[in-house]
A and B are shown apart, each in its own frame.
Chain A
Amino acid sequence: MRPHPTNLTGTRSPGPVGELDGPAVGNGPAARRWPAFDRADLDRARAGDPEALGRFFDHYFDRVFSVACRFTGSVEHGRDLTQEIFFKIRRHLGRLDLERDPAPWLYTVTVHACLDARRSSWWRMGRRSVPLDRAGGAPALASRGPGPEENLLAAEDERRVQRAIGLLPGDLRVSVILHDFEELGHERIGAILGISHAAARKRHSRALHALARLLREGEGP
Protein backbone atom coordinates (compact mmCIF):
# COMPACT_ATOMS: atom_id res chain seq x y z
CA MET A 1 0.00 0.00 0.00
CA ARG A 2 1.35 3.41 -0.89
CA PRO A 3 1.84 5.85 1.95
CA HIS A 4 -0.81 8.48 2.38
CA PRO A 5 0.38 11.77 0.88
CA THR A 6 1.83 14.43 3.06
CA ASN A 7 -0.54 17.34 3.09
CA LEU A 8 0.27 20.73 1.67
CA THR A 9 0.94 22.43 4.93
CA GLY A 10 3.83 20.18 5.76
CA THR A 11 2.12 18.01 8.37
CA ARG A 12 1.16 14.40 7.93
CA SER A 13 -2.27 13.79 6.63
CA PRO A 14 -4.61 12.12 9.05
CA GLY A 15 -4.02 8.56 7.94
CA PRO A 16 -6.57 5.78 7.97
CA VAL A 17 -9.67 7.22 9.52
CA GLY A 18 -12.19 5.14 7.70
CA GLU A 19 -14.78 6.35 5.29
CA LEU A 20 -15.68 9.97 5.75
CA ASP A 21 -18.14 9.87 2.92
CA GLY A 22 -21.48 8.19 3.17
CA PRO A 23 -24.26 8.97 5.61
CA ALA A 24 -23.31 11.77 7.95
CA VAL A 25 -23.08 11.37 11.68
CA GLY A 26 -25.79 13.28 13.50
CA ASN A 27 -29.27 14.20 12.48
CA GLY A 28 -28.62 17.01 10.04
CA PRO A 29 -30.59 17.59 6.89
CA ALA A 30 -30.35 14.97 4.19
CA ALA A 31 -28.59 17.47 1.94
CA ARG A 32 -25.50 17.08 4.14
CA ARG A 33 -25.13 13.37 3.55
CA TRP A 34 -22.33 12.66 1.17
CA PRO A 35 -22.04 9.57 -0.99
CA ALA A 36 -18.56 8.11 -1.27
CA PHE A 37 -16.57 9.24 -4.26
CA ASP A 38 -16.14 6.49 -6.79
CA ARG A 39 -12.67 4.97 -6.68
CA ALA A 40 -12.53 4.31 -10.38
CA ASP A 41 -13.32 7.98 -10.94
CA LEU A 42 -10.63 8.93 -8.46
CA ASP A 43 -8.14 6.83 -10.40
CA ARG A 44 -9.17 8.50 -13.66
CA ALA A 45 -9.05 11.95 -12.04
CA ARG A 46 -5.52 11.25 -10.85
CA ALA A 47 -4.63 10.37 -14.43
CA GLY A 48 -6.06 13.72 -15.59
CA ASP A 49 -9.32 12.55 -17.16
CA PRO A 50 -11.43 15.74 -17.58
CA GLU A 51 -14.77 14.12 -16.85
CA ALA A 52 -13.52 12.42 -13.71
CA LEU A 53 -11.88 15.66 -12.60
CA GLY A 54 -15.17 17.43 -13.09
CA ARG A 55 -16.98 14.83 -11.00
CA PHE A 56 -14.34 15.08 -8.30
CA PHE A 57 -14.79 18.84 -8.23
CA ASP A 58 -18.58 18.56 -8.10
CA HIS A 59 -18.34 16.02 -5.31
CA TYR A 60 -16.26 18.17 -2.98
CA PHE A 61 -16.88 21.76 -4.01
CA ASP A 62 -19.80 22.44 -1.67
CA ARG A 63 -17.93 21.14 1.37
CA VAL A 64 -14.79 23.13 0.67
CA PHE A 65 -16.70 26.28 -0.18
CA SER A 66 -18.90 25.95 2.90
CA VAL A 67 -15.98 25.52 5.31
CA ALA A 68 -14.08 28.39 3.69
CA CYS A 69 -17.08 30.74 3.86
CA ARG A 70 -18.02 29.79 7.41
CA PHE A 71 -14.45 30.23 8.55
CA THR A 72 -13.86 33.58 6.86
CA GLY A 73 -17.41 34.81 7.44
CA SER A 74 -17.36 36.23 3.94
CA VAL A 75 -18.43 34.78 0.61
CA GLU A 76 -15.87 36.96 -1.12
CA HIS A 77 -12.95 35.59 0.87
CA GLY A 78 -14.45 32.14 1.02
CA ARG A 79 -14.40 32.21 -2.78
CA ASP A 80 -10.74 33.24 -2.92
CA LEU A 81 -9.83 30.63 -0.36
CA THR A 82 -11.78 27.93 -2.21
CA GLN A 83 -9.93 28.77 -5.39
CA GLU A 84 -6.61 28.51 -3.59
CA ILE A 85 -7.59 25.21 -1.98
CA PHE A 86 -8.64 23.65 -5.28
CA PHE A 87 -5.41 24.83 -6.82
CA LYS A 88 -3.51 22.97 -4.08
CA ILE A 89 -5.73 19.91 -4.45
CA ARG A 90 -5.14 19.86 -8.22
CA ARG A 91 -1.37 20.10 -7.69
CA HIS A 92 -1.34 17.07 -5.41
CA LEU A 93 -4.17 15.02 -6.81
CA GLY A 94 -1.79 12.63 -8.53
CA ARG A 95 -0.33 11.61 -5.20
CA LEU A 96 -3.63 10.63 -3.59
CA ASP A 97 -3.84 7.08 -2.27
CA LEU A 98 -6.56 5.15 -4.06
CA GLU A 99 -7.00 2.89 -1.06
CA ARG A 100 -8.09 5.74 1.15
CA ASP A 101 -10.96 8.12 1.20
CA PRO A 102 -9.74 11.54 -0.03
CA ALA A 103 -12.21 13.46 2.16
CA PRO A 104 -10.04 13.64 5.33
CA TRP A 105 -7.14 14.91 3.27
CA LEU A 106 -9.38 17.50 1.60
CA TYR A 107 -10.66 18.69 4.94
CA THR A 108 -7.11 18.86 6.29
CA VAL A 109 -5.98 20.96 3.33
CA THR A 110 -9.04 23.18 3.72
CA VAL A 111 -8.63 23.66 7.46
CA HIS A 112 -4.94 24.47 7.18
CA ALA A 113 -5.59 26.89 4.34
CA CYS A 114 -8.19 28.61 6.56
CA LEU A 115 -5.86 28.80 9.54
CA ASP A 116 -3.01 30.07 7.38
CA ALA A 117 -5.27 32.69 5.84
CA ARG A 118 -6.24 33.87 9.30
CA ARG A 119 -2.59 34.57 10.11
CA SER A 120 -2.03 36.62 7.00
CA SER A 121 -2.45 40.33 6.52
CA TRP A 122 -4.88 39.43 3.76
CA TRP A 123 -7.19 38.07 6.45
CA ARG A 124 -7.00 41.17 8.63
CA MET A 125 -7.92 43.30 5.64
CA GLY A 126 -10.68 40.86 4.81
CA ARG A 127 -12.35 41.45 8.16
CA ARG A 128 -13.76 44.59 6.63
CA SER A 129 -15.24 42.81 3.61
CA VAL A 130 -18.73 41.70 2.64
CA PRO A 131 -20.24 39.43 5.31
CA LEU A 132 -21.58 36.01 4.50
CA ASP A 133 -25.22 36.97 4.73
CA ARG A 134 -25.01 40.00 2.47
CA ALA A 135 -23.39 38.53 -0.60
CA GLY A 136 -23.83 35.37 -2.57
CA GLY A 137 -25.13 33.54 0.48
CA ALA A 138 -28.23 35.67 0.69
CA PRO A 139 -30.34 33.91 -1.94
CA ALA A 140 -30.19 30.73 0.12
CA LEU A 141 -32.13 32.48 2.81
CA ALA A 142 -34.95 33.36 0.50
CA SER A 143 -36.40 29.88 0.64
CA ARG A 144 -36.02 29.27 4.36
CA GLY A 145 -39.32 30.53 5.63
CA PRO A 146 -42.83 30.64 4.32
CA GLY A 147 -42.91 34.40 4.06
CA PRO A 148 -40.79 37.56 3.92
CA GLU A 149 -40.92 38.13 7.70
CA GLU A 150 -39.69 34.63 8.45
CA ASN A 151 -36.95 35.04 5.87
CA LEU A 152 -35.89 38.30 7.47
CA LEU A 153 -35.77 36.72 10.93
CA ALA A 154 -33.83 33.77 9.59
CA ALA A 155 -31.36 36.10 7.92
CA GLU A 156 -30.94 38.00 11.18
CA ASP A 157 -30.34 34.73 13.06
CA GLU A 158 -27.71 33.66 10.59
CA ARG A 159 -25.99 37.03 10.76
CA ARG A 160 -25.95 36.86 14.56
CA VAL A 161 -24.55 33.31 14.64
CA GLN A 162 -21.98 33.98 11.93
CA ARG A 163 -20.81 37.11 13.76
CA ALA A 164 -20.32 35.07 16.93
CA ILE A 165 -18.49 32.30 15.03
CA GLY A 166 -16.21 34.95 13.58
CA LEU A 167 -15.23 35.99 17.10
CA LEU A 168 -14.12 32.49 18.10
CA PRO A 169 -10.40 31.68 18.08
CA GLY A 170 -9.36 29.79 14.94
CA ASP A 171 -9.10 26.31 16.47
CA LEU A 172 -12.50 26.59 18.17
CA ARG A 173 -14.06 27.97 15.01
CA VAL A 174 -12.77 25.02 13.01
CA SER A 175 -14.16 22.66 15.61
CA VAL A 176 -17.66 24.13 15.39
CA ILE A 177 -17.59 24.28 11.59
CA LEU A 178 -16.47 20.67 11.18
CA HIS A 179 -18.78 19.24 13.83
CA ASP A 180 -21.91 21.32 13.54
CA PHE A 181 -21.90 22.41 9.90
CA GLU A 182 -20.05 19.53 8.28
CA GLU A 183 -21.39 17.08 10.85
CA LEU A 184 -18.15 15.17 11.25
CA GLY A 185 -17.61 13.04 14.34
CA HIS A 186 -15.03 14.01 16.94
CA GLU A 187 -12.79 11.10 16.01
CA ARG A 188 -12.65 12.24 12.42
CA ILE A 189 -12.13 15.85 13.44
CA GLY A 190 -9.33 14.74 15.74
CA ALA A 191 -7.70 12.92 12.83
CA ILE A 192 -8.03 15.98 10.58
CA LEU A 193 -6.60 18.33 13.18
CA GLY A 194 -3.95 15.92 14.41
CA ILE A 195 -5.33 15.70 17.95
CA SER A 196 -6.88 12.90 19.98
CA HIS A 197 -10.55 12.03 19.98
CA ALA A 198 -10.90 13.27 23.58
CA ALA A 199 -9.12 16.52 22.76
CA ALA A 200 -11.43 17.08 19.81
CA ARG A 201 -14.47 16.54 22.08
CA LYS A 202 -13.14 18.94 24.68
CA ARG A 203 -12.28 21.53 22.09
CA HIS A 204 -15.77 21.33 20.64
CA SER A 205 -17.32 21.63 24.08
CA ARG A 206 -15.19 24.72 24.76
CA ALA A 207 -16.19 26.10 21.38
CA LEU A 208 -19.90 25.68 22.13
CA HIS A 209 -19.51 27.31 25.55
CA ALA A 210 -17.69 30.23 24.00
CA LEU A 211 -20.22 30.52 21.20
CA ALA A 212 -23.16 30.44 23.61
CA ARG A 213 -21.51 33.13 25.70
CA LEU A 214 -20.87 35.29 22.65
CA LEU A 215 -24.46 34.88 21.51
CA ARG A 216 -25.76 35.79 24.97
CA GLU A 217 -23.52 38.86 25.06
CA GLY A 218 -24.74 39.78 21.60
CA GLU A 219 -28.30 39.67 22.87
CA GLY A 220 -27.58 42.12 25.67
CA PRO A 221 -29.27 45.51 25.93
Chain B
Amino acid sequence: MIPDRDRLPDEGSLQAELRGLPRPHPPWGFRDRLRRQFVRDEFPERARRPRPRRPAWGDVALAGGLAAALLALGLFANRGPSWKLVATSGSGTARVDGRDVPLGERALLERRLRRGARVRLPAGAQLDLELPGIALLQMAGGEARLPGCPGRWFARSMSASLVSGELRIATGPGFAGARLTVATPEARAIVTGTTLSVLRDREASCVCVFEGRVLMTGAGGPDTVRAGFRRSVYRGGTPPLLEPILPMESMKLGMLRDAARQTLTREP
Protein backbone atom coordinates (compact mmCIF):
# COMPACT_ATOMS: atom_id res chain seq x y z
CA MET B 1 0.00 0.00 0.00
CA ILE B 2 1.10 3.51 -0.71
CA PRO B 3 0.98 5.40 2.59
CA ASP B 4 -1.31 8.39 2.67
CA ARG B 5 1.53 10.74 3.53
CA ASP B 6 3.04 9.90 0.14
CA ARG B 7 0.00 11.15 -1.68
CA LEU B 8 0.02 14.57 -3.15
CA PRO B 9 -2.64 16.78 -1.59
CA ASP B 10 -4.28 17.20 -4.97
CA GLU B 11 -3.90 13.60 -6.13
CA GLY B 12 -7.57 12.85 -5.77
CA SER B 13 -8.67 15.91 -7.67
CA LEU B 14 -6.08 15.20 -10.33
CA GLN B 15 -7.46 11.71 -10.81
CA ALA B 16 -10.97 13.09 -10.93
CA GLU B 17 -9.88 15.59 -13.55
CA LEU B 18 -8.29 12.85 -15.64
CA ARG B 19 -11.33 10.63 -15.39
CA GLY B 20 -13.57 13.51 -16.34
CA LEU B 21 -11.89 14.01 -19.71
CA PRO B 22 -13.89 12.75 -22.68
CA ARG B 23 -12.71 9.86 -24.79
CA PRO B 24 -11.13 11.02 -28.03
CA HIS B 25 -13.36 10.65 -31.06
CA PRO B 26 -11.99 9.06 -34.20
CA PRO B 27 -11.92 11.14 -37.36
CA TRP B 28 -14.97 10.85 -39.53
CA GLY B 29 -15.04 7.61 -41.52
CA PHE B 30 -11.95 6.14 -39.87
CA ARG B 31 -13.78 3.71 -37.65
CA ASP B 32 -15.93 2.33 -40.49
CA ARG B 33 -12.96 2.03 -42.81
CA LEU B 34 -10.83 0.23 -40.23
CA ARG B 35 -13.74 -2.03 -39.32
CA ARG B 36 -14.08 -3.04 -42.97
CA GLN B 37 -10.34 -3.70 -43.20
CA PHE B 38 -10.43 -5.73 -40.00
CA VAL B 39 -13.39 -7.87 -41.04
CA ARG B 40 -12.05 -8.50 -44.55
CA ASP B 41 -8.44 -8.70 -43.41
CA GLU B 42 -7.52 -6.17 -46.07
CA PHE B 43 -5.15 -3.73 -44.43
CA PRO B 44 -3.26 -1.14 -46.43
CA GLU B 45 0.47 -1.58 -46.85
CA ARG B 46 1.13 1.16 -44.33
CA ALA B 47 -0.39 -0.84 -41.45
CA ARG B 48 1.50 -3.96 -42.52
CA ARG B 49 4.84 -2.21 -42.63
CA PRO B 50 6.74 -2.92 -39.43
CA ARG B 51 7.57 0.23 -37.60
CA PRO B 52 11.26 0.77 -36.91
CA ARG B 53 11.84 -0.62 -33.47
CA ARG B 54 14.53 -0.68 -30.91
CA PRO B 55 17.25 -2.97 -32.19
CA ALA B 56 16.88 -6.52 -30.92
CA TRP B 57 19.48 -7.96 -28.59
CA GLY B 58 20.67 -10.07 -31.49
CA ASP B 59 21.37 -6.94 -33.54
CA VAL B 60 23.15 -5.30 -30.62
CA ALA B 61 25.25 -8.42 -30.10
CA LEU B 62 26.03 -8.59 -33.81
CA ALA B 63 27.08 -4.93 -33.88
CA GLY B 64 29.17 -5.46 -30.74
CA GLY B 65 30.79 -8.54 -32.24
CA LEU B 66 31.54 -6.69 -35.45
CA ALA B 67 33.06 -3.79 -33.53
CA ALA B 68 35.14 -6.21 -31.46
CA ALA B 69 36.30 -7.99 -34.63
CA LEU B 70 37.28 -4.67 -36.22
CA LEU B 71 39.11 -3.67 -33.06
CA ALA B 72 40.92 -7.01 -32.96
CA LEU B 73 41.83 -6.63 -36.64
CA GLY B 74 43.14 -3.11 -35.99
CA LEU B 75 45.15 -4.27 -33.00
CA PHE B 76 46.54 -7.19 -34.99
CA ALA B 77 47.49 -4.98 -37.95
CA ASN B 78 49.11 -2.50 -35.56
CA ARG B 79 51.42 -5.13 -34.12
CA GLY B 80 55.05 -4.61 -34.95
CA PRO B 81 57.60 -7.37 -35.46
CA SER B 82 58.69 -9.79 -32.77
CA TRP B 83 62.13 -10.23 -31.26
CA LYS B 84 64.57 -12.16 -33.41
CA LEU B 85 67.49 -13.96 -31.84
CA VAL B 86 70.63 -12.87 -33.68
CA ALA B 87 73.34 -14.53 -31.58
CA THR B 88 74.01 -16.17 -28.26
CA SER B 89 77.27 -16.52 -26.40
CA GLY B 90 78.26 -18.30 -23.27
CA SER B 91 77.01 -21.60 -22.00
CA GLY B 92 74.52 -22.91 -19.54
CA THR B 93 70.80 -22.60 -19.30
CA ALA B 94 68.67 -19.53 -19.61
CA ARG B 95 65.39 -19.27 -17.77
CA VAL B 96 62.60 -17.74 -19.83
CA ASP B 97 59.24 -17.11 -18.19
CA GLY B 98 60.06 -19.67 -15.53
CA ARG B 99 61.14 -22.42 -17.95
CA ASP B 100 64.71 -23.55 -18.50
CA VAL B 101 66.06 -23.35 -22.04
CA PRO B 102 69.64 -24.41 -22.88
CA LEU B 103 71.49 -21.58 -24.59
CA GLY B 104 72.58 -24.02 -27.30
CA GLU B 105 68.97 -24.69 -28.41
CA ARG B 106 68.61 -21.61 -30.47
CA ALA B 107 65.30 -22.39 -32.16
CA LEU B 108 63.59 -23.16 -28.87
CA LEU B 109 65.11 -20.10 -27.26
CA GLU B 110 63.92 -17.87 -30.07
CA ARG B 111 60.37 -19.23 -29.74
CA ARG B 112 60.35 -18.46 -26.05
CA LEU B 113 61.80 -14.94 -26.35
CA ARG B 114 58.52 -13.19 -26.91
CA ARG B 115 57.63 -9.62 -26.11
CA GLY B 116 57.57 -9.07 -22.39
CA ALA B 117 59.33 -12.36 -21.66
CA ARG B 118 61.18 -12.51 -18.35
CA VAL B 119 64.70 -13.78 -19.00
CA ARG B 120 67.44 -14.82 -16.60
CA LEU B 121 70.89 -15.55 -17.98
CA PRO B 122 73.83 -17.27 -16.29
CA ALA B 123 76.94 -15.18 -15.66
CA GLY B 124 78.98 -14.70 -18.81
CA ALA B 125 76.08 -15.47 -21.15
CA GLN B 126 74.84 -12.96 -23.67
CA LEU B 127 71.87 -12.68 -26.01
CA ASP B 128 71.81 -10.45 -29.08
CA LEU B 129 68.27 -9.69 -30.16
CA GLU B 130 66.79 -7.67 -32.99
CA LEU B 131 63.45 -6.03 -33.55
CA PRO B 132 63.78 -5.73 -37.33
CA GLY B 133 64.13 -2.12 -38.37
CA ILE B 134 63.49 -0.87 -34.86
CA ALA B 135 66.17 -1.78 -32.33
CA LEU B 136 69.01 -4.03 -31.35
CA LEU B 137 69.18 -5.27 -27.80
CA GLN B 138 72.03 -6.93 -26.05
CA MET B 139 71.48 -8.61 -22.74
CA ALA B 140 74.53 -9.71 -20.78
CA GLY B 141 73.94 -11.86 -17.69
CA GLY B 142 71.44 -11.04 -15.00
CA GLU B 143 67.68 -10.85 -15.20
CA ALA B 144 65.47 -8.64 -17.31
CA ARG B 145 62.03 -8.37 -18.87
CA LEU B 146 62.17 -7.84 -22.60
CA PRO B 147 60.35 -4.85 -24.01
CA GLY B 148 57.43 -5.30 -26.35
CA CYS B 149 57.41 -3.71 -29.74
CA PRO B 150 55.96 -0.28 -30.60
CA GLY B 151 52.74 -0.45 -32.61
CA ARG B 152 52.89 0.62 -36.24
CA TRP B 153 50.43 3.50 -35.86
CA PHE B 154 49.47 3.75 -32.19
CA ALA B 155 50.52 2.41 -28.81
CA ARG B 156 54.15 3.21 -29.61
CA SER B 157 55.40 3.07 -26.05
CA MET B 158 57.17 0.03 -24.69
CA SER B 159 58.85 -0.80 -21.49
CA ALA B 160 61.48 -3.16 -20.16
CA SER B 161 62.87 -3.80 -16.73
CA LEU B 162 66.28 -4.80 -15.50
CA VAL B 163 66.71 -6.55 -12.20
CA SER B 164 70.43 -7.22 -12.60
CA GLY B 165 73.02 -7.46 -15.36
CA GLU B 166 73.41 -5.30 -18.45
CA LEU B 167 71.10 -4.20 -21.23
CA ARG B 168 72.46 -2.37 -24.26
CA ILE B 169 70.10 -0.84 -26.73
CA ALA B 170 70.60 0.80 -30.09
CA THR B 171 67.57 2.15 -31.91
CA GLY B 172 67.05 2.32 -35.67
CA PRO B 173 64.91 4.33 -38.08
CA GLY B 174 61.76 2.31 -37.25
CA PHE B 175 61.95 3.56 -33.68
CA ALA B 176 61.13 7.15 -34.69
CA GLY B 177 58.20 8.46 -32.66
CA ALA B 178 58.31 5.56 -30.22
CA ARG B 179 59.35 5.56 -26.60
CA LEU B 180 61.12 2.99 -24.49
CA THR B 181 61.29 3.02 -20.73
CA VAL B 182 63.80 0.82 -18.96
CA ALA B 183 63.09 0.51 -15.27
CA THR B 184 65.46 -0.69 -12.57
CA PRO B 185 64.65 -0.73 -8.86
CA GLU B 186 66.44 2.62 -8.44
CA ALA B 187 65.83 4.48 -11.67
CA ARG B 188 64.07 4.74 -14.99
CA ALA B 189 65.62 5.59 -18.32
CA ILE B 190 63.27 7.08 -20.86
CA VAL B 191 64.53 6.71 -24.40
CA THR B 192 63.23 8.31 -27.56
CA GLY B 193 65.95 7.19 -29.96
CA THR B 194 69.59 6.70 -29.08
CA THR B 195 72.30 4.21 -28.21
CA LEU B 196 72.65 3.50 -24.55
CA SER B 197 73.16 0.88 -21.96
CA VAL B 198 71.54 0.31 -18.63
CA LEU B 199 73.70 -1.52 -16.13
CA ARG B 200 72.76 -2.69 -12.70
CA ASP B 201 74.64 -4.30 -9.87
CA ARG B 202 73.92 -4.61 -6.16
CA GLU B 203 74.85 -1.04 -5.40
CA ALA B 204 73.47 1.04 -8.19
CA SER B 205 71.83 1.48 -11.56
CA CYS B 206 73.87 3.16 -14.23
CA VAL B 207 72.78 4.58 -17.57
CA CYS B 208 75.52 5.09 -20.17
CA VAL B 209 74.58 7.19 -23.17
CA PHE B 210 76.65 6.77 -26.32
CA GLU B 211 74.49 8.81 -28.67
CA GLY B 212 71.63 11.23 -28.22
CA ARG B 213 70.05 11.95 -24.84
CA VAL B 214 68.25 9.93 -22.26
CA LEU B 215 65.93 11.23 -19.57
CA MET B 216 66.63 9.49 -16.33
CA THR B 217 64.41 9.59 -13.27
CA GLY B 218 64.91 8.15 -9.81
CA ALA B 219 66.78 9.27 -6.72
CA GLY B 220 68.06 12.84 -7.10
CA GLY B 221 65.20 13.78 -9.42
CA PRO B 222 64.96 13.66 -13.19
CA ASP B 223 68.01 14.51 -15.21
CA THR B 224 69.01 14.37 -18.84
CA VAL B 225 72.09 12.33 -19.58
CA ARG B 226 73.95 13.52 -22.65
CA ALA B 227 76.06 11.51 -25.06
CA GLY B 228 79.45 10.47 -23.61
CA PHE B 229 78.24 10.46 -20.00
CA ARG B 230 76.94 7.98 -17.53
CA ARG B 231 74.76 8.61 -14.55
CA SER B 232 74.73 6.28 -11.59
CA VAL B 233 71.87 6.21 -9.09
CA TYR B 234 72.73 4.46 -5.84
CA ARG B 235 70.64 2.64 -3.33
CA GLY B 236 70.41 4.12 0.13
CA GLY B 237 70.71 7.86 -0.25
CA THR B 238 74.10 8.35 -1.89
CA PRO B 239 73.73 11.25 -4.35
CA PRO B 240 73.66 10.35 -8.06
CA LEU B 241 76.94 10.61 -9.88
CA LEU B 242 77.48 11.97 -13.39
CA GLU B 243 80.75 10.95 -15.01
CA PRO B 244 82.23 10.39 -18.46
CA ILE B 245 81.39 7.00 -19.88
CA LEU B 246 84.06 4.30 -19.29
CA PRO B 247 86.16 3.38 -22.33
CA MET B 248 85.19 -0.30 -22.20
CA GLU B 249 81.47 0.52 -22.15
CA SER B 250 81.98 3.10 -24.86
CA MET B 251 83.60 0.47 -27.03
CA LYS B 252 80.78 -2.03 -26.50
CA LEU B 253 78.15 0.56 -27.29
CA GLY B 254 80.09 1.71 -30.35
CA MET B 255 80.08 -1.84 -31.67
CA LEU B 256 76.39 -2.17 -31.03
CA ARG B 257 75.72 1.14 -32.75
CA ASP B 258 77.70 -0.03 -35.80
CA ALA B 259 75.80 -3.28 -35.86
CA ALA B 260 72.55 -1.37 -35.65
CA ARG B 261 73.52 0.82 -38.57
CA GLN B 262 74.25 -2.24 -40.64
CA THR B 263 71.27 -4.36 -39.75
CA LEU B 264 68.45 -1.95 -38.93
CA THR B 265 68.86 0.26 -41.98
CA ARG B 266 69.14 -2.47 -44.57
CA GLU B 267 66.28 -3.07 -46.96
CA PRO B 268 64.07 -5.95 -45.88
Q: Which residues of A are at the interface with B, using a C-beta cutoff of 8 A? A: 26-29, 31-32, 50, 53-54, 57-58, 61-62, 65-66, 69-70, 75, 78-80, 82-84, 86-87, 89-90, 116-117, 119-122, 132, 135-137, 139-141, 144, 157-158, 161, 176, 180-181, 183, 201-202, 205, 208-209, 211-212, 215
Contacts and interface: CB of A to CB of B under 8 A. Distances in A.
B26 A53 contact: no
Interface stretch (B51-59, B69-77, B106-114, B198-206): B51-59
B14 A120 contact: no
Interface in B25-60: 25-28, 30-31, 34-35, 37-41, 43-44, 46-48, 51-54
Contacts, number: 125
B27 A136 contact: yes
A70 B25 CA distance: 11
B19 A180 contact: yes
B248 interface: no
Given A117-B51, A205-B2, A86 B34 contact: yes
Contacts of B22: 137, 140-141, 144, 158
B38 A57 contact: yes
Given A86-B34, A116-B54, A75 B27 contact: yes
Given A66-B24, A84-B47, A87-B43, A181 B18 contact: yes
B52 A201 contact: no
A161 B39 contact: no
A32 B24 CA distance: 13
Interface string B1-31: 1100011101100110111011111111011
Contact of B17 (A62, A83, A157, A202): A157
Contacts of B2: 201-202, 205
A202 B81 CA distance: 61
Contacts of A201: 1-2
A12 to B, nearest CB: 17
A144 B31 CA distance: 22
Contacts of B6: 205
Given A57-B39, A86-B43, A116-B54, 18 more contacts: A27-B19, A28-B19, A31-B23, A50-B39, A65-B26, A75-B24, A82-B26, A83-B44, A90-B43, A117-B51, A120-B51, A132-B24, A140-B22, A140-B25, A181-B18, A183-B19, A205-B2, A215-B14
Contact of A82 (B8, B34, B40): B34
B59 to A, nearest CB: 13
A30 to B, nearest CB: 12
Nearest to A27: B19
B8 to A, nearest CB: 5
A113 to B, nearest CB: 8
